[in-house]
Amino acid sequence: MSQASTYWNPFVETLPPEKIRQVQLKNLRRMVAYAKQHTVFYREKYRHIEPEDIRSMADVRQLPMVEKEDLRMAQVGKEPFLFGELLGVSPEEVSDFRQTSGTTGTPVYVPESRESWQWRVEVWCHILWMAGFREVDRVFIPFGYNVYVAFWEGHYAAEKLGCMVIPGGALDTIGRLNKMQEVRATALLNTPTYGVHLAEAAKNMGIHPPDMGIRRMVCAGEPLPPATRHKLETLWGAEVYDHIGGTEPCAWAAMCGQRQGLHIMEPFFLVEMLDMENQQRDVAQGELAVAVVSALGRRSFPMIRFNTKDIVRKGSNGCGCGRTSQKIEEVAGRMDHLTKIRGVLFTPVAVEELLRGEFPQIGEYEISVERKGTLDEISLIYEPLEEMEQTAGQELSVILSERLKIKTNLTFRLLPVRPGTLPRYKLKAKRYKDMRGIQRG
Ligand SMILES: [Zn+2]
């Protein structure tokens, strides 16, 4: 294959790693200078920092991090209206309004200028191109995107690639499946939850999903553990690609055709992978780390050393696809979901991985943690896909209990419920509930 068809931007994607680092540091200095000059937030935060002094990664480490809470504090009740002290351009230059989903609290409002929006779209062009999206594709997006950014980015980027884009909002699931068939869609942008739901709905209509001709799918909005990704690939007979990112910094890593780990989108971003204890030390390859992300070209909402709280495993510095960017081996969870239960570190992704990988007979599930007296109790409520005989149900719960114990070091209280009992989520699933902080009257 020629370079032109392998890469969206052959020059950028094959830069030697030393060169990537130089470009990142240069652009970080520029971004710090810009942010200090144009936002109240960074002027205050970086008052003792001179951009020219940032020469090495050790210098980068001296910059204070930005936490999600800082963003809220800089917006609520602050001028200029709506975006507050984080706005990096004049209010007249803002062309698009986005916001975070607010899953972890008050949403953050995110302004885009035309220039900053184009920067985000360009990052997404890389993501889609790596996932094999091309001019010939008809890309169906089965959502109304509202004020949430990922599918807008995917929409604009697919258009820029030359694909045909079909927005699938304001339809129900059956309407969407009909539309996909009508236009012979070849690609999907989806959440993992809805990807499964859509395939199941197709089956209920008597359609074998792989016959629909979907060849590739990029997922957004939720974690995508390997077992769930494989499940989607089997359901659709398609290649399924993961990426990671957020509304604040943009998408910053994504899968290439090898589908082994994710490439950091360098040099658009500088991503530090730091130890989870005190976030001071760069981890070695193979270790778990928290990702701290600086977006290096977006002026409307400067994001420098943003603590994503995403837990990733550091990967290699090269790949079979020929791209030279740093990789991450896997996305392992979120710091705000990483919790201690009876002294054991636990992340709900581990349960999803186990259920999707080993228990195909289980459909929906929910995990909840409660405090009973002085002890924490963790429960798994699960729903078999079909009604089960009593003995089969008991056998399932014995094996499930053992496998959960081995995978998480915790003893779960198992609560099977009848098929169709648990809520169905379409966009983003909420399958984990930690109720230990809730006072009961
Ligand atoms: Zn690769």
pTM above 0.75, yes or no: yes
Per-residue pLDDT tens digits for 177-231: 999 999 999 999 999 989 999 999 999 999 999 999 999 999 998 888 888 999 9
User: If you compute the radius of gyration of the chain from its CA atoms, what whole number of angstroms results?
Assistant: 22
**Measured distance CA(267)–CA(369) in Å, rounded:** 41
Spelled out in words, what is the top-level CATH class assigned to the domain 339-434? alpha beta
Which amino acid, 74?
A
CA of 81 relative to ligand 1 center, distance in Å: 43
Same fold, 1-334 and 339-434: no
Instruction: State the distance from the centre of ligand 1 to the C-alpha of 89, rounded, in angstroms.
Output: 35
CB-CB contact of 412 with 347 (8 Å): no
Q: pLDDT at position 317, please? A: 85
CA 265 to centroid of ligand 1, rounded, Å: 11
Q: How many CB atoms lie within 10 A of CB 364?
A: 22
Q: For residue 339, what pLDDT is reported?
A: 82
Q: Tell me the CA–centroid distance for residue 439 and ligand 1, in Å.
A: 48
Taking the centre of ligand 1 as the mean of its atom positions, its distance from the CA of residue 272, in whole angstroms, is 19
Q: 3-state SS of the chain? A: CCHHHHCCCHHHHCCCHHHHHHHHHHHHHHHHHHHHHHCHHHHHHCCCCCHHHCCCHHHHCCCCCECHHHHHHHHCCCCCCCCHHHCCCCHHHEEEEEECCCCCCCCCEEEEEHHHHHHHHHHHHHHHHHCCCCCCCEEEECCCCCCCHHHHHHHHHHHHHCCEEEECCCCCHHHHHHHHHHHCCCEEEECHHHHHHHHHHHHHCCCCHHHHCCCEEEECCCCCCHHHHHHHHHHHCCEEECEEEECCCEEEEECCCCCCCEEECCCCEEEEEECCCCCCCECCCCCEEEEEEEECCCCCCCCCCEEEEEEEEECCCCCCCCCCCCEEEEEEEECCCCEEECCEEECCHHHHHHHHHHCCCEEEEEEEEEEECCEEEEEEEEEECCCCCHHHHHHHHHHHHHHHHHHHCCCCEEEECCCCCCCCCCCCCCCEEECCCCCCC
Measure 245 CA to ligand 1 centroid, in angstroms: 18
What spacing in Å lies between the alpha carbon of 376 and ligand 1's midpoint?
Answer: 42
For residue 426, the model assigns a pLDDT of 66
Q: What spacing in Å lies between the alpha carbon of 263 and ligand 1's midpoint?
A: 6
Q: Is 286 left (phi over 0), alpha (psi -120 to 50) or beta?
A: left
CA 254 to ligand 1 centroid distance, Å:
9
Q: How many CA atoms lie within 13 A of 381 on its CB side?
A: 15
Instruction: Report the separation in Å between the CA atom of 65 and the middle of ligand 1, taken as the mean of its atom positions.
Output: 29
**Superfamily per CATH, domain 1-334:** ANL, N-terminal domain (3.40.50.12780)
Q: What spacing in Å lies between the alpha carbon of 61 and ligand 1's midpoint?
A: 28
Residue 243 Cα to ligand 1 middle (Å)? 13
**In the chain, where are the structural domains located?**
1-334, 339-434
Amino acid 4: pLDDT: 63
pLDDT recorded at residue 374? 81
Going from the Cα of 319 to the center of ligand 1, the distance in angstroms, rounded, reads: 5
CA distance 39 to 52: 18
**CA 318 to ligand 1 centroid distance, Å:** 7
Pair 341, 410: CB distance under 8 Å: yes
CA of 121 to the centre of ligand 1 (A): 20
Buried b (16+ CB within 10 A) or exposed e, 51-88: beebeeeeebbebeebebebbbebbeebeeeebbbbbb
Residues, CB-to-ion distance under 5 Å, ligand 1: 256, 258, 319, 321, 323
pLDDT of residue 3: 64
Length of the chain: 441
Ligand 1 centre from 347 Cα, in Å? 27
325 Cα to the center of ligand 1, angstroms? 8
Residue 281 CA to ligand 1 centre (angstroms) = 26
30 CA distance to ligand 1 centroid (A)? 29
Distance from the alpha carbon of residue 8 to the mean position of ligand 1, in angstroms? 13
User: How far apart are the CA of 256 and the centre of ligand 1, in A?
Assistant: 5
Looking only at the bridges linking them, the beta strands covering 306-314 and 339-341 are unpaired
Residues of the chain with pLDDT under 50: 1, 439-441
Instruction: Find the 27 Cα to ligand 1 centroid distance in Å.
Output: 24
Q: 316 alpha carbon to ligand 1 midpoint, in Å?
A: 10
Distances (CA, A) of 195 to 66, 142, 390: 33, 9, 31
